[in-house]
Amino acid sequence: MIASKCIQEIQQDIKEGRKKASDIIPIPSISEEQARELYSAWRAHFIDRMEREQFKVGWGDISTPNSASELDYDLEYYKLFISK
């Protein structure tokens, strides 16, 4: 999973301060902490979506309502993901 490795590298760069999450998640008026959380949420959901596509294994029938609310959906998914 090359994409997964690249995403992990970006997250490590953010964690170690080499990159800012707000540069990757460019949403006006959110804090750097919120941008980091959104990036982590997107990453968790993205990797799970990739695994479902590759292995046809998932957590049920989850579909994204629309692209405009995808980050909100990813954040909710992430909160469920870390609570398990």
Q: What is the pLDDT at residue 57? A: 47
Q: What is the largest CA-CA distance in the chain?
A: 38
Sign of the four-CA dihedral 69, 72, 78, 79: negative
* pTM of the predicted protein model: 0.58
Q: What is the pLDDT at residue 49? A: 77
Q: What is the pLDDT of residues 10-46, one digit of tens each?
A: 889 998 999 999 988 888 899 999 999 988 888 888 8
Number of compact structural domains in the chain:
1
Measured distance CA(57)–CA(69) in Å, rounded: 24
Range of the domain at 37: 2-83
